[in-house]
Amino acid sequence: MADSRMRIWYSPDAAAAAAAAGGQQRSAPAAAAADGLLFAARLGDVDLDRPVGVLHRRRGDLASPSVSAEEDAAALEATLAAQQTPAQREAVRALRPRAAAAWW
């Protein structure tokens, strides 16, 4: 059954960086980096050309390898396109082709 729920793509680089942090807080530049993208979908068709948001880890959250996938996903926030900073917009432009290539 097709649905219209939004889809997320996690950057493999962000996952590796979180694992490498080993429970340490992320620095301010690393906290600003994008951890993934948020895409709209209509009837199950994901619009990979226009991400609607960027995912980033909340400031102060700890990256720990022992955290479950649900807890890790809860530590992410989405910033929608209208509220993105110029740095986040640049991160979206850099990640979008990688997300599209990895999607299929």
Instruction: Supply the pLDDT for residue 21.
Output: 54
- What is the Cα–Cα distance from 28 to 8, expressed in whole angstroms? 23
Q: Is the pTM higher than 0.85?
A: no
Q: What is the pLDDT of residue 57?
A: 81
Closest CA to 30 of 45, 46, 18: 18
Least confident of 7-16, 24-33, 60-69: 24-33
Strand partners, 50: none
- Cβ atoms of 55 and 88 closer than 8 Å: no
Q: pLDDT per residue over 16-52, tens digit each?
A: 655 555 544 444 443 346 889 999 999 889 999 999 9
Show me where the domains of the chain are located: 7-103
**Residues forming beta bridges with residue 56, ordered by sequence position:** 77
Mean per-residue pLDDT of the chain: 78
pLDDT given at position 72: 60
